[in-house]
Amino acid sequence: MAEMLSVEVCYAQSNKQELVRVKLNEGATLQQALETSGLLEKYPEIDLKKNKFGIWNKLSKLDSVLRNLDRIEIYRPLIADPKEVRKQRAAEGKVMKKGAGDSDAEG
């Protein structure tokens, strides 16, 4: 008789987190857990071809074989590129620093 695995599938949105526990046969893959969880039907924005997935915060492929008590995470696409945001903040900071000395003029 095959051993059963118990895994969690987690999908975090900006306003809530969905956590589903599923039981699978030993040797099951990340994709099988996603399909069994029902989250793909509940959240049509999750796309197996576009979204990234992980096991315990480590990027993983859909064919990754699961172990008992694994936590599968569904990652949402980034809204803004972090590098671009940092560049914009740095540019704004330079502008603010240049103008900051003007208000301290003696008079």
Report the share of the chain in percent with pLDDT over 90: 64
User: Measured between alpha carbons, how far is 48 from 34 in angstroms, rounded to an integer?
Assistant: 9
In this prediction, residues 11-26 reach a mean pLDDT of 93
User: Measured between alpha carbons, how far is 53 from 62 in angstroms, rounded to an integer?
Assistant: 8
Confidence label for 96 from pLDDT (cuts 50, 70 and 90)? low
- Give per-residue pLDDT as tens, 24-67: 999 999 999 999 999 999 999 999 999 999 999 999 999 999 99
User: Measured between alpha carbons, how far is 34 from 47 in angstroms, rounded to an integer?
Assistant: 11
- Give per-residue pLDDT as tens, 62-88: 999 999 999 999 998 777 677 877 877
User: Measured between alpha carbons, how far is 51 from 38 in angstroms, rounded to an integer?
Assistant: 16
Answer yes or no: are the C-beta atoms of 22 and 30 closer than 8 Å. no
Q: How many CA atoms lie within 13 A of 42 on its CB side?
A: 12
Domains of the chain from N-terminus onward: 4-75 (3.10.20.30)
Give pLDDT, residue 107. 52
